A and B are shown apart, each in its own frame.
Chain A
């Protein structure tokens, strides 16, 4: 199984500042035949289901603000919120879809400093 490890577990960022969340996979999730990273990011606010933010490691889902961006390749990935807004307070999860079982990271809780 591919283990997804997120860091940090939580972080507090001032409004308007950058938030950076890391996700490391125990195996490569870059599929050589299509040169795509099988990695997605989700946002979950309290009491709500998760919401898709990014897939293929860096493709933003329709309607997601452009302050959210994804980067990385192979085993190391980053979700960046370029200018934190109050509505971004949430827990963020990465997920690999390279192989079954599909696996999620443990989550990173983002709060306002």
Chain B
């Protein structure tokens, strides 16, 4: 069974930093692209960032480009999202998602339960 377990969420002041992690199990992690998708309270889904299976290609939403960095450790089956210069509009539940498809052109067949990030003074 595919499992994605996020951690690292919490409350942070504007301008602060957080590092999210996602521990994957139940599939060959190094064979799949991975992404982070977020959902602000009461709002829809927003793709944040994605990384290909090897880690060779990383993509970001314009809203986080230059502030967030995605990375992966295939040996540890772990996905990370380093978030800096956080803003109020980054407040959301962040989902770790497993991608299917070609390279970065992914749809998402498995989702974690999400971790809440709250940015507030």
Number of interface residues, chain A, beta carbon within 8 A: 24
Q: In the complex, are the beta carbons of B107 and A107 less than 8 A apart?
A: no
Given contacts A55-B100, A97-B101, A100-B104, contact A107 B44 (CB under 8 A): yes
Encode contact with A along B75-96: 1 for CB under 8 Å, 0 otherwise: 0000000000000000000010
A40, A49, A103: the one contacting B114 at CB < 8 Å is A49
A98 contacts the other chain (Cβ, under 8 Å)? yes
Please indicate the chain B residues that have their CB under 8 angstroms from the CB of A50 in the complex. 45, 95, 108, 111
A72 contacts the other chain (Cβ, under 8 Å)? no
B1 contacts the other chain (Cβ, under 8 Å)? no
**A–B Cβ pairs within 8 angstroms, 11 of them:** A1-B62, A40-B107, A49-B111, A50-B45, A52-B109, A61-B109, A93-B44, A95-B45, A97-B106, A101-B62, A102-B106
A77 contacts the other chain (Cβ, under 8 Å)? no
Please indicate the chain B residues that have their CB under 8 angstroms from the CB of A55 in the complex. 100-101, 107, 109
B47 contacts the other chain (Cβ, under 8 Å)? yes
Would you call the interface of chain A mostly helix, strand, loop, or mixed? loop
Please indicate the chain A residues that have their CB under 8 angstroms from the CB of B107 in the complex. 40, 52, 55, 95, 97
Count, A-B residue pairs, CB within 8 A: 59
Please indicate the chain A residues that have their CB under 8 angstroms from the CB of B35 in the complex. 102
Q: In the complex, are the beta carbons of A38 and B44 less than 8 A apart?
A: no
Interface residues of A (CB under 8 A from B): 1, 38, 40, 42, 44, 49-52, 55, 61, 93, 95, 97-107
B14 to chain A, nearest CB (A): 24
A107 to B106, CA, bound (A): 19
A49 to B101, CA, bound (A): 20
Q: In the complex, are the beta carbons of A101 and B109 less than 8 A apart?
A: no
Please indicate the chain A residues that have their CB under 8 angstroms from the CB of B104 in the complex. 100
Told that A44-B45, A101-B60 touch, could you supply 14 new A-B pairs with CB distance under 8 A? A40-B107, A49-B112, A49-B113, A50-B111, A51-B111, A52-B108, A95-B108, A97-B106, A100-B59, A101-B59, A102-B35, A103-B47, A105-B44, A107-B44
